[in-house]
């Protein structure tokens, strides 16, 4: 019950992170919201009191008395001393679980990372773009840019001025549609990299699941090229394929004995 209550705050965030169209900055902002909510519930004594009362109700329905283990010699589990079951399960189960969740959110989504600096050239955050942050954006993307730091920083300053004097859309996709690539080529490149930035591991996990279904004991001699092709077909099963086009491409690669091309002439 306690685990269900704590993790219920992360359900929609988890679904957003696993979506193929996940927005990294939105996910990080929502993770901050979840973290704030969980921290508030952690220090609120009424939350744990309500959870413990529900647990007592479930226990009484099956004739189970609330107890807690001995604390003298236990060494292989959380074993903080407590006067009663209420305090014992709060200190040794509830608080460690909540702290672990907060640590995971902080380390995986909220800690300062180079890839988050790009958010300051978005129209809704452009007011926080300083000279130092423009330099940090350049440092994070130096390998993908063909200009020096001074040129990139000046372009970011021009982009900031344009955003402050022009009503631009807030969504990243809309910004890319209206952004003149010839005037702001490096800013546009950073937007494209941000849009293509991978967030979840769901795609790779689906790939491993597909590989497990394809690379069976009966197909132990399958080559990597064939397995990759079948894996892509399995992962992207919702994409429609034109069989005639595939046959034509296969037949045109080299001369074959069979006539695989059918012309209407």
Question: What's the mean pLDDT in 79-86?
Answer: 81
Tokens 């007011």 found at? 127
CA 25 – CA 18 distance, rounded (Å):
14
CA 155 – CA 187 distance, rounded (Å):
7
CA 72 – CA 159 distance, rounded (Å):
65
pLDDT at 43: 92
Within the chain, residue ranges assigned H as helices are: 2-7, 11-18, 24-42, 45-61, 85-89, 95-105, 131-140, 149-165, 172-178, 185-195, 202-214, 224-235, 243-252
pLDDT at 98 over 90: yes
pLDDT at 212 over 80: no
pLDDT at 184 over 90: no
pLDDT at 178 over 50: yes
* 250 vs 103, higher pLDDT: 103
pLDDT at 259 over 70: no
CA 245 – CA 232 distance, rounded (Å):
18
* 120 vs 100, higher pLDDT: 100
Question: What's the mean pLDDT in 214-243?
Answer: 78
DSSP 115-181: GGGGGGGSTTTGGG--HHHHHHHHHHTGGG-SS-HHHHHHHHHHHHHHHHHS---SSHHHHHHHS-T
* 95 vs 18, higher pLDDT: 95
pLDDT at 265 over 50: no
pLDDT at 99: 93
* 74 vs 88, higher pLDDT: 88
CA 214 – CA 40 distance, rounded (Å):
47
**pLDDT-based confidence at residue 203 (cuts at 50, 70, 90):** low
List the domain boundaries for the chain.
Answer: 2-110, 114-195, 202-240
Average pLDDT of every residue of the chain = 79
Task: Write out pLDDT tens, residues 115-167.
Answer: 667 778 877 778 888 888 888 888 877 777 778 888 988 988 988 898 888 87
pLDDT at 201 over 50: yes
pLDDT at 205: 63
pLDDT at 73: 64
Task: Write out pLDDT tens, residues 7-56.
Answer: 898 888 888 777 766 666 677 788 889 999 999 999 999 999 999 999 88
pLDDT at 181: 79
pLDDT at 235: 73
pLDDT at 206: 62
């Amino acid at each position: 019950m306690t685990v269900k209550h704590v993790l219920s705050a992360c359900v929609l965030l988890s679904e957003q992170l696993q979506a193929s169209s996940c927005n990294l900055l939105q996910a990080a902002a929502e993770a901050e919201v979840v973290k704030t909510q969980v921290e508030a519930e952690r220090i609120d004594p009424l939350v744990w009191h309500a959870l413990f009362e529900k647990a007592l109700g479930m226990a009484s329905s099956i004739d189970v008395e609330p107890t807690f283990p001995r604390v003298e010699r236990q060494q292989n589990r959380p074993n903080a001393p407590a006067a009663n079951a209420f305090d014992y399960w709060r200190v040794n189960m509830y608080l460690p679980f909540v702290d672990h969740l907060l640590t995971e959110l902080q380390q995986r989504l909220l800690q300062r990372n180079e890839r988050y600096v790009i958010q300051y050239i978005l129209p809704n955050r452009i007011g926080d773009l300083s000279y130092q942050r423009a330099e940090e954006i350049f440092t994070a993307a130096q390998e993908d840019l063909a200009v020096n730091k001074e040129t990139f920083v000046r372009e970011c300053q021009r982009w900031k001025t344009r955003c402050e004097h022009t009503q631009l859309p807030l969504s990243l996709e809309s910004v890319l549609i209206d952004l003149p690539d010839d005037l702001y080529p490096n800013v546009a490149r950073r937007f494209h990299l941000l849009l293509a930035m991978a967030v979840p591991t769901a795609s790779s996990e689906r790939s491993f699941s597909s590989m497990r279904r394809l690379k069976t004991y009966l197909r132990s001699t399958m080559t990597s090229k064939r397995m990759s092709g079948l894996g892509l077909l399995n992962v992207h099963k919702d994409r429609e394929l034109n069989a005639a086009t595939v046959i034509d491409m296969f037949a045109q690669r080299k001369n074959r004995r069979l006539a695989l091309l059918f012309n209407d002439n």
